[in-house]
Amino acid sequence: MIASPTTGPRMPVLKVENLAVAYKIRGGEVEAIQNVSFEIARGETFGVVGESGCGKSTTAWAVVNFLGANGYVKRGSIKFQGQELLGKSGEELRQLRGDQIAMVYQDPMQSLNPSMRLGDQMKEVLTVHRGVSDAEATRRCVEMLDRVYMPDPAAVLRRYPHQISGGQQQRVVIAMALLNNPALLIMDEPTTALDVTVEAAVLDLIAELRRDFDTAIMFISHNLGVIARICNRVGVMYAGELVERATVQELFADPQHPYTQGLIRCLPRLGADKAGSVLYPIRGRVPPPSNRPAGCVFSPRCDYVQERCRLERPELRQLPNGTFVRCHFAEVIDPAAWIPSADVRLIPPPAGNGAGAPILEVQGLKKYYPLQGSSLRDVVGLGEQRFVQALEDASFTVHKGQTLGIVGESGCGKSTLVKTIIGLESSSGGRAEFLGLDITGDLSDRNTELIRELQMVFQNPDATMNPSYTVGYQIARPMERFGTVPKGQIRAEVLRLLEAVRLGENYYNRLPRQLSGGEKQRVGIARALASRPDLVLCDEPVSALDVSVQAALLNLLLEVQQEYGTTMVFIAHDLSVVRYFSDQVAVMYLGQVVDIGPAEAIYAPPYHPYTEALLSAVPIPDPAAQQRRIRLEGTVPSAIDPPSGCRFHTRCPRRALLPDGGRICEMEVPPWREAGNGHRILCHIPLETLRDLPPVITVSP
Amino acid sequence: MARFLVRSLISTFVTMFLVSVLLWVLLEVATGDVAVKLLGVFSTPEQRASYRAQLGLDAPSWQRYLDWLVGSDWRAESQVGFPLVTATNQITGERVWWADVDGTPTQWRLEEGELLTLQLQPDGTVATTAAEVGWSRDEAGAEFFWGVNEDGSAVKWVRGQGAEVWVLTKGGLRKEGDGPQQYIPLRKGLLRGDGGKSLQTGRAVSVTLFPRLRNSVILAAVAFAVVMPLALLLGIVAGVNEGRAIDRTISIVGLTLTATPEFVTGIFLILIFGIWLKWVPAVAIFTSPNAIFENPSLLILPVLTLTAVELGYVARMTRASMVEVMDTPYIRTAIIKGMPRGRVIFRHAVRNALLAPITIIMLHVNWLIGGLVVVEVIFGYPGLGQYIYDAAIFGDPNAIEAAAMILVIVAVGTRLVGDFAYTLLNPRIRYA
Amino acid sequence: MAAIQPTPETPLGPVATAGGPSRGRRLWSSLSIIFESRIATVGFLMVMFWIVIGLLSLVWTPFPPNESRFVQNLPPNTTNLLGTDNLGRDTLSRLMVGTQVVLLKTRVPVGDRTISLPIGVAIWGVLGSLTLGTFLGQIAGYRGGRWDQTIMQLLDAFVAFPSIVLYLVVIAALGRGDLVVIFAIAITGAPGVARLARSLTLDISTRDYVRAAETRGESQWYVMFREILPNARGPLLVDAMLRVGYAIFAIGTLGFLGLGLPPPDPDWGSMVNEARRFMFSTAWGVIWPSLAISSLVVGLSLLADGLREELNRYQR
């Protein structure tokens, strides 16, 4: 631990002033970020938040001066522990990197070298920078892995990255970053690629390490919930500029910049539903660096825009409460008096809540994938045939006009369930009926009429549209295929649908590459609706989008659902979104539905122990909210050889509530317990005990 | 691993089978009358027919394919009535067929209507005596005898019918009477290691092919040993310096070399080094099959020619892979960890960057063989390439098939080596 | 505090461009991608040079290419700019006409006469392998399972079979002729195209728009040829361009081995082969056609390389 004697305890570890980064492109250059100023003190976590394309990562790369061949710092200064980093030679920077400044970024699998043992990758940080012996390096790596709660650290050192799970990979990356006890740790979306329970554990770890090592952390995230949980101070970036800088409490309680206010209004609060609240998207989209407005960068999207905003670029200035904000009118804007624009309105719940007839009934649905063995016995066909039990016993009913939300972590079988229902896969057992017709087979077993009734909205906006065809053609195709619209009227119908998804007529002839992510998703929705289906399956339709786009899209889905009376199955990993959007919610774990019922019932006691853990892990965009801390041990078991009895028993934190330490959970499949109002919980623990558990989340007024 | 090995083994055999059938069909459909080529255009139809019969070419195509694949001694044995055995001729190294008559290797010859017995003595000499065997009689009443002749065919001799055959001797075609009427050229078949005889030379393929193969392997190996280190190095240098002058130079030169046919490169090399600079002999004369051992400088120009084409290709592949790897997040991690540049390149990047080229290079061996044919023709190098060229031009089925089988083994083998190297370098597969 | 009231506006769309691009403009925009890259531009110019030469030779050459009217094996001089060959024919004229058979025309025997079809042997051959390979590769990649295994096994057998041997056997057997060479090129190129098409198909068929087509119950042919193929076009065309280069390469090699396109029309490989015997007295005869082959193949490779780089950048 090298603490420079001249560095006082309050001296910032990192001080960035008026930073501007430019990239050379063909025919000129663009400034990706401008006028960014902030400082981070020892032991502090400074969050940087904003939508994609706002320059968060560029700021981080500028700090370590790793901007690629065509990027450079154009103006400003970056002081690290009092010394200017700009103008330092490559060799000086190299010695700082990995030693004094460490970095962790998004995808741990990508950031570890696939062909080197983890031990070699970790040890070299010590051997290169500190010149320690190999044995000593090994010892310190084991120590550090132990410190990040990695089970069996010595063995991990001998493994390759692909041999450990994503959460463990991120622990290795974090341990590697901390090996030399750096003064500054830059984390760029370190938990974005992880599941919510793993994310919670990693965030806990980061908070703990910051306290213990007294490191300054620059924490970049697009997720306001994560920022609220982990940061002391926050900088909000918009279009390459820092528009607001405040303590985390101030920022969420009293946001000053209209952009910050807008961001917070976009988010569904955990517990909010569509009947009682509305999401307010920010209109328009982030301008590309080459096309930023002359005055305030936010002015084209700002609800409070004045003439001055269009002409004069505001400076970052301090308000009386200590917050820094880049807005001419921060003092006079009162977010409480904000009036939503006319086109966003509360969607009234459908008349006769939940009264619709059952449209989709699934009972004990199974999907097994045969597994190819690789031993000689398997090759000659003597080996025992094994299966991945991707879906085991999914049961639920969806009523007409309602939305069933399905949540669960990756690998829980959500996507398999959807594929089986839509017919991309045939099921391996169980019963599934749509409007009384059997749908256990795949598409080849279904007639055109049935195929037409079931349509799907996909996750990835960049893959949802065929790049070779125009928007108009792709929406028209289902109409031609199913003959739902007479030939002559197809164009008119396509235009009507474009209107319904809030895209104008001028989108008809566009190609997908001319659309933004949100627009592509809108076309995807229009295409799904084009055949006038009764049931639309939405597979994470908003998870790849920025929050403001996400809000607009959720609103749109609600609108079209109401207008067309469409029934929906909605998959998402974000519990707040599912809560907001769904009438019924099913929680899945390892191929099973473990908890199902009306949305409000799922999010309140009695909880299924897994649901309880999920809720405890959700990052809430409100630093004042209290969340009980329940963390799951270990990783999701393999679906090839799932645990006996209750599949959750290996990780269940509530087994201790049962007599005999929950032996029964290992032996017997748990019963369905009816908690009233259609809420059913698959658990051995009696309902009374579950009811006595306190709520996971309490929002203080 | 077991799956991989079993699959590749099966795949090799399937491939060889498919290739052999394909070639057979192609040669059957396409090749002109071999007898015309061997006997000349002035031979009579009777002469040709007789000669074709002696070569067994009058049998149906599928029969000949089976003979080629699994041998003909099976079906000949049932006719002859004695076990058929082979012994190696000490002088030519070729295989000679005998019938095993009570433990004595025996052949027969019909001379002036009299059947003679040739018996192989333990000391290697052959004793000729009048045959004591009885003639058999068929339904039509003709006397016939099935035996093995000196050319290694099972032959049906028929007595007293005056049937005439035309035999090709050193002095030309000679008419023999009272002779053999049906031939089954004896062979063990490819599966038992016998590639048959070349129609063009009349010698066993296995005897003539291997010295040629050895020469080609030497040529290819030397070229490979020159190309690989150099190309990988150039590729890495170019990839690391993407977009700089050195990268552009290596890329353009590599592209030009790859895009220039071997015969052009070869001719330019001869012009430059042989004719203008006179550093190496412009015309290499291979006086004996062992010439390259006696005068290794004969290898220089052929190796350079082969090198030129491969060098550019491999270097460009490596460069592309290196550029891709240098752009990955894990290389970024290594740089952000403060690793020195050399360490980033050699410890972190190279191993990953070699993955893609290795499989591609191994698949590229066919290209190398194509080059081999041209190079050997240009320089008159007595290798497999020239052998194939000659055989193909003549339409010599046994020679082509044998050479093709070797090429398939080489191609499949190198692919396996490539897969294996890939597995070794890639822990994601090794520890799947 | 006088709060500023929000001023709701109509939602901002991106700047609207009315209508889609017209066909001509789209064609131009795909052509203009060539000029984005310096490498591609150089390659394009080299290829265009030969195409123009070839077109010119259809209507005019300095001398009749197949007439022996000069002294044999002359070095370049003012009459015969590139010299003459071993039969006293003008090398420049023969070189110019040599472009035709690879790039511009294919001679097909019909009865006793020979008629010429547009587009050269190299290009027809590559079109053949492109069609066959794409078809097989798409089926293997999209259908998977047994189809994939069977097709790939067959193609592996083909790949294991050195193409030069196939060329030699086919041509030695069927005789020299434009159609035979086209056939040989098409067959030997198909496995490579199929591999590429298969891997592209495998990649593209994971995209959601393919799922969308499947959940519409589209037929497999529709999915393969309407949804997948248009998005595989770019890489396949770039690959085809390289293959035209290799085909010219192969035709040259065959000519050199004495198995090239049938006389009397000159092809470059045969010209090298004929001139080779006189290399020790005059090297010009081998240099010119060698340069011609190399420059055309290099040009095609540069064009393909530059295009590939541009396409990658475009997709990112």
What integer pLDDT is reported at residue A569 of this predicted model? 94
Q: Rounded distance, CA B298 to CA B281, Å?
A: 8
Tell me which DSSP letter residue A374 carries.
-
**In this complex, do B338 and A99 lie within 8 Å of one another by their Cβ atoms?**
yes
CA distance C169 to chain B (A): 5
A124 lies within 8 A of chain B by CB = yes
What digits encode the pLDDT tens for the residues B65-80? Answer: 888 888 888 888 887 7
Answer whether residue C231 is part of any domain.
Answer: yes
User: Concatenated DSSP letters for B192-250?
Assistant: GT---B-TTT-SBHHHHHHHHHHHHHHHHHHHHHHHHHHHHHHHHHHHHTTTSHHHHHH
Chains with at least 3 CB pairs less than 8 angstroms from chain C? A, B
Q: Compare A601 and B111 and report the one with higher pLDDT.
A: A601
Q: Cα dihedral sign for B287, B292, B295, B300?
A: positive
Three-state secondary structure call for residue A19 = strand
What digits encode the pLDDT tens for the residues A623-662? Answer: 888 888 888 887 788 888 889 889 999 989 988 888 887 8
Which of A115, A141, A376 is the best residue to mutate to test the B interface, defined by the most B CB atoms within 10 Å of its own CB?
A115
Answer whether residue C10 is part of any domain.
Answer: no
What integer pLDDT is reported at residue A73 of this predicted model? 92
Half-sphere exposure of A208 (CA within 13 A, CB side): 11
> In one letter, which amino acid is A287?
P
**Nearest residue of C to residue A418 by CA position?**
C215
What integer pLDDT is reported at residue A375 of this predicted model? 60
Q: Nearest by CB to B15, which of C157, C245, C272?
A: C157
Which of A61, A66, A89, A94 is the best residue to mutate to test the B interface, defined by the most B CB atoms within 10 Å of its own CB?
A94
Taking residue B126's Cβ as centre, other Cβ atoms within 10 Å add up to: 12
Mean pLDDT of B44-71: 81
**In this complex, do B30 and C290 lie within 8 Å of one another by their Cβ atoms?**
no
Q: Rounded distance, CA C196 to CA C234, Å?
A: 12
What percentage of chain B has pLDDT greater than the value 70?
90
Answer whether residue C7 is part of any domain.
Answer: no
CA distance B389 to chain C (A): 7
What integer pLDDT is reported at residue A11 of this predicted model? 78
Length in residues, chain B: 432
Which is nearest to A220 in space by CA: A114, A104, A326? Answer: A104
What integer pLDDT is reported at residue C18 of this predicted model? 40
**In this complex, do A160 and B427 lie within 8 Å of one another by their Cβ atoms?**
yes
CA dist B161 → B108, B157, B181, B258 (Å): 19, 10, 10, 66
**In this complex, do C298 and B31 lie within 8 Å of one another by their Cβ atoms?**
no
What is A358-585's CATH topology?
Rossmann fold (3.40.50)
Taking residue A32's Cβ as centre, other Cβ atoms within 10 Å add up to: 24
Q: Nearest by CB to B329, which of A107, A115, A378?
A: A107
Q: In chain B, which residues have their Cβ closer than 8 Å to the Cβ of A176?
A: 337
**In this complex, do C280 and B389 lie within 8 Å of one another by their Cβ atoms?**
no
* Residue A352 banded pLDDT, cuts 50, 70, 90: very low
What digits encode the pLDDT tens for the residues A118-132? Answer: 999 999 999 999 999
Tokens of A112: 């570890």
Tell me which DSSP letter residue A444 carries.
G
Judgement on whether residues C184 and C93 belong to the same structural domain of the protein = no
What integer pLDDT is reported at residue B197 of this predicted model? 79
Which of B263, B323, B379, B389 is the best residue to mutate to test the C interface, defined by the most C CB atoms within 10 Å of its own CB?
B263
Instruction: Reply yes or no on whether the pLDDT at A247 is more than 50.
Output: yes
Domain that holds residue C93: 33-119+266-294
| CB-based contacts of B268-274 (< 8 A; 24+ apart in sequence) | B268/C287, B268/C290, B269/B301, B269/B304, B269/B305, B269/B308, B270/B301, B270/B378, B270/C279, B271/C279, B271/C283, B271/C286, B271/C287, B273/B300, B273/B301, B274/B301
Q: Rounded distance, CA A530 to CA A485, Å?
A: 9
Answer whether residue C223 is part of any domain.
Answer: yes
- C284-315 and C229-256 are packed helices; what angle lies between their axes, rounded to 10 degrees? 170
What percentage of chain A has pLDDT greater than the value 70?
94
Cβ A65 vs Cβ A93: under 8 Å: yes
**In this complex, do B431 and A162 lie within 8 Å of one another by their Cβ atoms?**
yes
Instruction: Reply yes or no on whether the pLDDT at B41 is more than 80.
Output: no
**In this complex, do C160 and B23 lie within 8 Å of one another by their Cβ atoms?**
no
Judgement on whether residues C142 and C249 belong to the same structural domain of the protein = yes
Judgement on whether residues C128 and C228 belong to the same structural domain of the protein = yes
A127 lies within 8 A of chain B by CB = no
What integer pLDDT is reported at residue A127 of this predicted model? 93
CATH code, C167: 1.10.3720.10
Tokens of A664: 């029964």
Please name the residues between 192 and 251 in chain C that touch chain A, using a CB distance below 8 Å: 207-209, 211-212, 214-218, 227, 230-231
Three-state secondary structure call for residue A535 = strand
Which of A290, A310, A506 is the best residue to mutate to test the C interface, defined by the most C CB atoms within 10 Å of its own CB?
A506
What digits encode the pLDDT tens for the residues A523-535? Answer: 999 999 999 999 9
**In this complex, do C20 and A509 lie within 8 Å of one another by their Cβ atoms?**
yes
> In one letter, which amino acid is C9?
E
Per-residue pLDDT of chain C (316 residues; tens, 9 = 90+): 344 544 433 333 333 344 445 566 666 776 777 888 888 899 999 999 999 999 998 888 888 888 887 888 788 888 888 888 888 888 898 899 888 888 888 888 777 788 888 888 889 999 999 999 999 999 999 998 888 888 888 887 777 777 777 788 777 777 778 888 898 889 889 988 999 999 999 999 999 999 999 999 899 999 999 999 999 988 999 899 989 998 998 888 888 888 877 777 788 888 888 888 888 778 888 889 989 999 999 999 999 988 888 887 766 5
Distance of CA B70 to the CA centre of its chain: 18
Write the ipTM.
Answer: 0.85
Q: In chain B, which residues have their Cβ closer than 8 Å to the Cβ of C301?
A: 255, 258-259
* Residue A1 banded pLDDT, cuts 50, 70, 90: very low
Chains with at least 3 CB pairs less than 8 angstroms from chain B? A, C
Question: Phi first, then psi: what are they for C84, rounded to 5°?
Answer: -125, 165
A80 lies within 8 A of chain B by CB = no
Q: Nearest by CB to A333, which of C3, C8, C19?
A: C3
Average pLDDT, chain B: 81
Length in residues, chain C: 316
Answer whether residue C304 is part of any domain.
Answer: no
Tell me the H-state helices in A179-302.
Answer: 196-213, 224-230, 248-253, 258-266
Tell me which DSSP letter residue A656 carries.
G
Taking residue A171's Cβ as centre, other Cβ atoms within 10 Å add up to: 26
C312 lies within 8 A of chain B by CB = no
Judgement on whether residues C177 and C206 belong to the same structural domain of the protein = yes
Which of B29, B264, B364, B369 is the best residue to mutate to test the C interface, defined by the most C CB atoms within 10 Å of its own CB?
B264
Q: In chain A, which residues have their Cβ closer than 8 Å to the Cβ of B426?
A: 114-115
C59 lies within 8 A of chain A by CB = no
Q: Nearest by CB to B369, which of C164, C253, C279?
A: C164
C5 lies within 8 A of chain A by CB = yes
Judgement on whether residues C77 and C138 belong to the same structural domain of the protein = no
The domain segmentation of chain A, as residue ranges, is 110-179, 358-585, 604-698
Cβ B193 vs Cβ B96: under 8 Å: no
Number of domains in chain C: 2
Mean pLDDT of B86-115: 78
CA distance B71 to chain C (A): 24
Cβ B257 vs Cβ B308: under 8 Å: yes
What percentage of chain A has pLDDT greater than the value 90?
44
Which is nearest to C197 in space by CA: C165, C160, C243, C164? Answer: C243
CA dist A531 → A211, A474, A497, C217 (Å): 57, 12, 11, 12
What digits encode the pLDDT tens for the residues A556-573? Answer: 898 888 888 899 999 988
Cβ B120 vs Cβ B98: under 8 Å: yes
What integer pLDDT is reported at residue B1 of this predicted model? 62
What integer pLDDT is reported at residue C7 of this predicted model? 43
> In one letter, which amino acid is B113?
G
Answer whether residue C170 is part of any domain.
Answer: yes
Burial class for C1, CB neighbours closer than 10 Å (0-12, 13-18, 19+): exposed
Range of weakest confidence among A76-90, A451-465, C95-109: C95-109
Which residues contact residue A74 at a Cβ distance below 8 angstroms, ignoring those fewer than 6 apart? A20, A21, A22, A31
**Nearest residue of B to residue A65 by CA position?**
B336
Q: Rounded distance, CA B310 to CA C84, Å?
A: 33
CA dist A592 → A587, A611, A648, B335 (Å): 8, 13, 10, 44
What is B206-425's CATH topology?
MetI-like fold (1.10.3720)
Q: Rounded distance, CA C38 to CA C30, Å?
A: 16
Q: Taking chain A, what is the end-to-end CA distance rounded to the nearest angstrom?
A: 43
The pTM is what? 0.85
* Residue B355 banded pLDDT, cuts 50, 70, 90: confident
The domain segmentation of chain B, as residue ranges, is 41-70+72-186, 206-425
**In this complex, do B271 and C252 lie within 8 Å of one another by their Cβ atoms?**
no
Instruction: Reply yes or no on whether the pLDDT at A494 is more than 90.
Output: yes
Task: Please state whether A685 falls in left (phi above 0), alpha (psi between -120 and 50) or beta.
Answer: beta
Cβ A102 vs Cβ A180: under 8 Å: yes
CA distance B156 to chain A (A): 47
What is the enclosing helix (H) or strand (E) of A464?
helix A461-464
Cβ A642 vs Cβ A591: under 8 Å: yes
What is the enclosing helix (H) or strand (E) of B39?
helix B34-39
**In this complex, do B370 and C162 lie within 8 Å of one another by their Cβ atoms?**
yes
C253 lies within 8 A of chain B by CB = yes
What integer pLDDT is reported at residue C315 of this predicted model? 62
What percent helix, strand, coil does chain A show, rounded to 5?
Answer: 35, 20, 40
Tokens of A601: 């019932």
**In this complex, do A511 and C20 lie within 8 Å of one another by their Cβ atoms?**
yes
